[in-house]
Structure 1
Amino acid sequence: MAVHELFSYLCVADAQAAIEFYCKVFDASEKFRLVEPGGRIGHVELDLGGTTLMLCEEFPEVDIRRPDPARGHSHTLHLHVDDADDVVARAVAAGAELAMAPRDHFYGERSGTVIDPFGHRWNIGHSIEQLDPEEMQRRYPADACD
């Protein structure tokens, strides 16, 4: 078996609003969408710098539901960009909740975290130094919870 690609596939309450947010904040572009006769958006593919992000609206009849941030987050999407501070600021200006302001981390990245208006958690970062895993591990205990 060979894995060829891995896609993030997010469920949102309002796919059109999500498309607009991701295009505005992350410079995504829409590749295509599939819409049911009743108007529910069943599938959208967005291009984020050569990576595909898939979206759909809720399908409660088959237990596909948007996240409930009040219950915590089961996953985080990690987006590597040129300037984390700028992208986090753009996300917040567009309606995301700031969960962690951008800062430098022990593993050689500056990053911050936002919860987008659709309940998905994004860690947005950029590299500040190249470290091997041994150096990251050496630094880990001193900075793990900061």
Structure 2
Amino acid sequence: MQSNRSAPSATVIPVLSYPDVRAAVDWLTAALGFRERVRIGEDHRAQLQVGADGAVIVADRGRDGGSDDRHLCKIRVEDVDAAFARAVEHGATVLEELTTRNYGEREATVADPAGHRWQLTQTVRDVAPEEWGGLSFP
């Protein structure tokens, strides 16, 4: 699978929404040992790493959904077009059509029959976070 400096390398990446991104990052790093790897705006998102291959994205709740919509799981796949077609064929509700992002990922978001949100993502090119306004940490 192609790597991208703008995206975590883990296969499954929870996206957790918080009312205060910076406070959540501070707590997760201090209490659980996460390390911030990419910051997207001061209060929009942050990508955190833990251990050798663990990852989580902390997102601003105001931008990513209300109080009943606090999480999403990203799944890194080899062929996002095929994975998206398969999910739809099996009854997934399309929440966001396939889109190629400026940060090097091609993504689509679906909901399963229970309403859980899944974002399917494939790296299409390696992009430094600074190229689209992010900030990376060594």
TM-score in terms of structure 2 length: 0.47
TM-score in terms of structure 1 length: 0.44
Q: Which has the higher strand share?
A: 2
Select the structure of larger CA radius of gyration.
1
Q: Which has the higher helix share?
A: 1
